[in-house]
């Protein structure tokens, strides 16, 4: 999003903000006049983007600005204070300089109820747009084709099922995320209704999520649920590629791929000799008490005979691992729009493994480190807003160069000023 003096002023007028927004001339800063005074924010910072989010409160009686409430909640999460009550208590104990940097009068900070009432009424789509604008700006130069894998998957918040139980056999999802494995950041997110079966919820919201991502030079990776003609066509039309697992939900496609990789595939397809294009690679990992071998075989021979949007290669992955003396094996099949000249077998295997970083580096961290599954926030849009703020925390920590999120949050809890600096909030000298 491009920010100018005119569109920021219009946004302020449209959103009914109780303070005017003024773009400082000749400097990339945004000056916000709050009830507590004037706050100057770097233009390309999350607090500056928060000013574009509509405030659902009536203008009369707004004691604290929305940009300050969102910035304080995000800063508290960065400092390992994971609930709205903990955020309110942490904010009250901050130094006057830190409170002023967040836009509060020294010694005058909001109660937990203010955070709860305000955040649960926000529009998750507006906050998701701010996340997208900050973490996925237009690239300075074109990305090479297939250079970044973007894993897309849904996630549920288990604590919410205690308040809105589902019918037996239903497994809902509350958020879809697009996670860049190479960068370790959430490029886009989409809140999902918690009343649908998991597959239906993901597929209904998937086009909205994919439309937010700048796909040029990127590859959609996903499980078999995302292997849909419409989704593949949407990504390719946006300039991207896909690499997806094929399972029984695409039965005819699966039969064709399995038949090619089956023994005596040459006779099945009428070839006098084995197929010409059969490329292979394998990796071995030893650690955590087990040995794991991944073998991938790919071909372009079958692609021309498949009725699928822009498919270029098909592949088979055999995963074998030994744990406590027992040997286990899994076989999976997949398709991709990346030709062999762009992505060789080693790159295909790397992209497929990289997809699971959305589970290990995002979903697991949100549950175990940021306490999402245990969160007691369940009313209206509160859970969706807090989930998006947790996405921002994970992305900020990874963007800062740290891969150990839990350790970094403990560090920021001891050095809160550095957390504010990470957000781009200006601190008074000699604070």
Residues 336 and 252 reside in one and the same domain? yes
Write out the two tokens for 415. 């050095």
Q: Which DSSP string do the residues of 129-176 spell out, in sequence order?
A: HHHHHHHSPPPSSPPPTT-EEEEEEEE--GGGGGTSPPPTT-----EE
Model pTM?
0.84
When divided into structural domains, the chain yields a total of 2
Per-residue pLDDT tens, the chain, 431 aa: give them.
Answer: 333 333 433 333 333 433 333 333 333 555 655 565 565 656 567 888 898 899 998 888 788 999 999 999 999 999 999 999 999 999 999 999 999 889 898 899 999 999 999 999 999 999 999 999 999 989 889 999 999 999 999 888 776 665 565 544 444 668 899 999 999 999 999 888 655 666 777 888 899 999 999 999 999 999 999 999 999 999 999 999 999 999 999 999 999 999 888 865 544 455 445 557 889 999 988 876 678 899 999 999 988 889 999 999 999 999 998 877 788 889 999 999 999 999 999 999 999 999 999 999 999 999 999 988 888 777 888 889 999 999 999 999 999 998 899 999 999 999 999 999 899 887 765 44
How far, in whole angstroms, is CA 166 from its chain's centroid? 25
Tally Cβ neighbours within 10 Å of residue 367: 17
Residues 136 and 263 reside in one and the same domain? yes
Residues 356 and 244 reside in one and the same domain? yes
Give, in order, the Cα–Cα distances in Å from 312 to each of 236, 333, 422. 12, 14, 42
Residues 249 and 292 reside in one and the same domain? yes
State which of 343, 365, 387 marks the end of a domain. Answer: 365
- The CATH number covering residue 238 comes to 3.90.350
Domain that holds residue 292: 130-365
**Ramachandran quadrant class, 169 (left: phi over 0; alpha: psi -120 to 50; beta: rest):** left
Residues 118 and 181 reside in one and the same domain? no
Tally Cβ neighbours within 10 Å of residue 247: 16
Residues 410 and 329 reside in one and the same domain? no
Residues 59 and 182 reside in one and the same domain? no
Q: Using the 8-state DSSP alphabet, how is residue 359 labeled?
A: I
């Amino acid at each position: 999003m491009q920010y100018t003096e005119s569109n920021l002023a219009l946004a302020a007028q449209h959103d009914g903000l109780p303070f005017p927004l003024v773009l400082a001339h000749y400097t990339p800063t945004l000056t916000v006049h709050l009830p507590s005074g004037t706050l100057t924010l770097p233009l390309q910072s999350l607090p500056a983007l928060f000013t574009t989010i509509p405030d659902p409160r009536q203008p009369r009686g707004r004691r604290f600005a929305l940009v300050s409430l969102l910035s304080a909640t995000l800063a508290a999460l960065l400092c390992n204070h994971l609930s709205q009550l903990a955020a309110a208590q942490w904010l009250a104990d901050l130094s006057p300089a830190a409170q002023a940097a967040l836009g509060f009068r020294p010694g005058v900070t909001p109660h937990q109820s203010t955070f709860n009432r305000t955040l649960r009424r926000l529009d998750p789509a507006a906050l998701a747009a701010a996340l997208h604008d900050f973490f996925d700006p237009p690239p300075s130069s074109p990305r090479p084709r297939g250079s970044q894998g973007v894993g897309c998957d849904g996630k549920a918040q288990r604590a919410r099922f205690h308040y809105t139980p589902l019918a037996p056999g239903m497994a809902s999802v509350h958020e879809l995320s697009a996670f860049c494995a190479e960068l370790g950041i959430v490029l886009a997110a989409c809140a999902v209704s918690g009343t649908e079966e998991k597959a239906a919820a993901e597929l209904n919201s998937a086009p909205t999520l994919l439309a937010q991502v700048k796909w040029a030079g990127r590859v959609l990776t996903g499980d078999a649920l995302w292997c849909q003609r419409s989704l593949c066509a949407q990504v390719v039309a946006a300039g991207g590629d896909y690499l997806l697992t094929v399972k029984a939900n695409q039965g005819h496609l699966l039969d064709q791929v399995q038949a090619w990789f089956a023994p005596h595939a040459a006779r099945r397809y009428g070839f006098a000799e084995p197929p010409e294009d059969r490329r292979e690679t394998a990796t071995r990992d030893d650690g955590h008490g087990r040995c794991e071998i991944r073998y991938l075989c790919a071909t372009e021979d079958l692609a021309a005979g498949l009725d699928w949007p822009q498919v270029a290669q098909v592949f088979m992955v055999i995963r074998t691992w030994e744990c406590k003396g027992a040997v286990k094996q899994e076989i999976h099949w997949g398709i991709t729009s990346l030709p062999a000249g762009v992505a060789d077998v080693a790159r295909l295997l790397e992209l497929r493994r990289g997809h699971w970083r959305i589970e290990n580096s995002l979903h697991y961290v949100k549950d175990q480190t940021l306490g999402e599954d245990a969160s007691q926030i369940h009313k209206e849009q509160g859970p969706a807003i807090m989930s998006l703020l947790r996405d921002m925390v994970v992305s900020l920590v990874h963007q800062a160069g740290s891969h150990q999120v839990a350790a970094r949050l403990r560090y920021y809890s001891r050095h809160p000023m550095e957390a504010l600096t990470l957000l781009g909030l200006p601190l008074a000298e000699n604070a």
